[in-house]
Structure 1
Amino acid sequence: MKILLEACRLVRVHDSGGIDALWQNLVLELLRQNQEALSDSGDGLEYVLFSAFLNPKHAHHLEKYRRLGATLRHWWMAPQWAEGMGRLGARSEWFAGNHDLLHISEPVWKLPTSGKIVVTFHDVMYRLYPQYLRPEWVDRLEKGTQDLVERATLWLCNSEHTRDQLCKHYGVPRGRTATMLVGVTEGFRLALGQEDRIAEIAGKLSLRNKRYFLFVGSVEPKKNLGVLLDAFSKALDSGTQADLVVAGRAGFGSEMVQAKVDGDPRLAERVQFTGFIDQKDLPFLVAGARCLVLPSRYEGFGIPVVEAMAAGTPVLCSDRGALPEVAGGAASLFDPDDVDGLAERLLSIDGDDALWEDLRRRGLERSEPFTWQRCAKDTLDAYRQAQQLSR
């Protein structure tokens, strides 16, 4: 079976996270497992990577995938040009040759194909909470999803919650859906107990306090940082010794969060924004935190939750979206609109070592199945399922 994989995300290595990091890790593991299959039995798949970009500096980022056996089909053009050609009738086969199955990293693909289409599906944020996203993103994803409802063979979802929402809001038959268990990079597990490296990264980031609550993610409205800041302020009133570290790039609407901190001298002293953290350093920042706090109003998965658990860091997260499913009873959940409730949880995790140890233990156990090996296996199962379906 010949598999065509969208490869533009594979060269987005600067400040990569979220879907980019997921796709890069998944493709690497698919290729590694394919090489093992070929070595053991001679029975494997043929992977082709289709990319389109203009900057020649990006090209070397694809070499590691080629060395793992992938065939590269690159076109020196902007991705938007390829999409435009698709609207004029150009097909995926024109760019990348014949293939049995096309797997794309999000629900946007303009080029027609004779192969079956598997879509990795992350959330329905743009349908449920469009006010939290840039209007152009909402328009692109909404149109792309509606188009692929009629074209895609199988939707590979990152949680049962996301799967249910896809079926509910877009009418996709459940028999055309599957789920995969998203992986956690092994660096988070290896960071556990590495006190010297944890201290080194804290120094590199100039953290003012070795005791800190940590938020990881883009600084944007959907992450609900305003409520976290209000809760942290109440925790300060009650004497918490921990600071709050906000680790992530400034996203859509981040200026409102920064203004809230700048307008309160005490928050300005006790809240630290680090910006985007390199993936090599992030596990140690997470492992050194008193807890991870994720107050999102909606998540289709919430990878920081399982990353923190794998690093031995207790988790406080909201009870919205897929977060209760992903946390699996191993996190302390809260209503994302309940400032007092979150403040109480911050104080409890800061001062109660028995609670801290219990959440740490449960989190480590919960994180065990979340590996890239399992994610790749789920993906291969989805390919086989798609081959049995019509369309």
Structure 2
Amino acid sequence: MCKKIAIDFRMHKASGIGTYIKGLLPFLTEKFEVILLGTEAEIREYAWSKNIKILECGREIYSLDEQICLSVKIPKCDIFWSPHYNIPILPIRAKFRAVTIHDAFHLAFYDSLNFMQKMYAKMIFNQALSRSDVVFSVSEFSRSEILKYTKTDKNIFVVPNAIDEGRFNNRYDSAVLEAAAREYKLPENFILFVGNVKPHKNLKNLLFALEKTELNLVIVGKRDGFITSDSDILEIIEKNNLTERIFFTGYVKDADIAAIYNLAKLFVFPSLYEGFGIPPLEAQACGCPVVCSNAASLPEVCGDSVLYFDPHNVEDIRNKIQAVLNDENLRNELCVKGFENIKRFSWERSAKQIIEIMEKLR
């Protein structure tokens, strides 16, 4: 008999978690009777949602409202799955609970949180572990971090992320690439950063690394969002005479992100902390060489397919960027290794792992 599984789908637009649930869902719908909690108008935009039951629950993440909505809306089902650690605390009508904890960022960077954030993070994190029958994470690094900061004795299943190779590839027509370059006013030659301005993304050190170069940097994201989140970013850009060389794309349509990866000379990922790190794989699938931080999960995900730097060392970041840009053989080698590396990851394989584990819940 087909299991009935309800899934919290409200974070489908979030960068990492959204990519995760959207990548897995088409395969889960083939095996289970899936019910999604979220906003119907948004969910119906996905082709695979045609025959899926949707329960309206558009409450704000991490709020009291979400707790009430989840408790009321989650139907009687075999499994309720939270793709993030913000699980329902109140009783629900599911036989079993599953949760995916992508990283232990809020515990690893506990001192950077305000009082209320600390209280919420510690409480809900431990609740997610203790109340869930199945706990997934996305890398061995994240698994080790969860065990380190919580002392849980739960068995944590590692199921890696992947990418949509139908969208992220190097088979784009030149006319499509030229159109994207015009629409987002991209310079002719540029290196690329995809991410947000949260301190652990380490954009500041990347900007400092560009100070003694003539390189153009394209940042995929809204300029206003970056500046209001961290005024130091604007200050660094202005003080270091980078204004003419930093390009914010503004909002980028999903269909255009791959084109921008294709246009970039190099993708740079200076992050200090990642539970997995999908953008380097997206860049590799598009034939873009990658230079990358040697921190957290990134060596696990990227293997020997990128050139690593110390994310705390501005000169090392600069030198590694220049090394790849100045050496065509190295660029080609990284591209070839990148195409090999992405073969290790597949949403279909990851979904099969999750399905197998969930089917064993009796």
Matches within 5 A, 1:227-306: 227-234=205-212, 236=213, 240=214, 242-249=215-222, 250-251=225-226, 253-265=229-241, 267-306=242-281
Q: Which moved more, 1:62-71 or 1:148-157?
A: 62-71
Structure 2 counterpart SS, 1:280:
helix
Is there any run of 5+ residues in structure 2 with no aligned partner, and where?
A: none
Answer yes or no: is the 8 Å Cα contact 1:103–1:119 preserved in 2.
yes
Match of 1:203 among 164, 182, 186: 182
Is there any run of 5+ residues in structure 1 with no aligned partner, and where?
A: 35-43, 52-57
Q: Which moved more, 1:298-307 or 1:19-28?
A: 19-28
| Deviations 1:207-239, CA, capped at 9 Å, x for gaps | 1x22111110012211111111111113x1xxx
| Deviations 1:109-147, CA, capped at 9 Å, x for gaps | 233234211111111111112456676555433321111
Matches within 5 A, 1:1-391: 1-10=3-12, 12=13, 16-31=14-29, 34=30, 44-51=31-38, 58-63=39-44, 64=46, 67-74=49-56, 80=63, 82-85=65-68, 92=71, 94-110=72-88, 111-113=90-92, 114-130=94-110, 139-173=119-153, 176-192=155-171, 194-207=173-186, 209-234=187-212, 236=213, 240=214, 242-249=215-222, 250-251=225-226, 253-265=229-241, 267-385=242-360, 387=361
Task: Specify the code of the residue in structure 1 equivalent to 2:359.
Answer: R
Structure 2 counterpart SS, 1:347:
helix
Change in Cα spacing, 1:188 to 1:333, as seen in structure 2 (3 Å) is: farther
Change in Cα spacing, 1:262 to 1:311, as seen in structure 2 (3 Å) is: same
Change in Cα spacing, 1:359 to 1:193, as seen in structure 2 (3 Å) is: farther
Provide the aligned length of Structure 1 versus Structure 2: 353
* TM-score scaled by length of structure 2: 0.89
Distance in 2 between residues matched to 1:77 and 1:340, nearest whole Å: 45
Answer yes or no: is the 8 Å Cα contact 1:192–1:312 preserved in 2.
no
* TM-score scaled by length of structure 1: 0.82
Distance in 1 between residues matched to 2:335 and 2:209, nearest whole Å: 22
Deviation at 1:9, TM superposition (A): 2.6
RMSD over aligned Cα atoms: 2.5
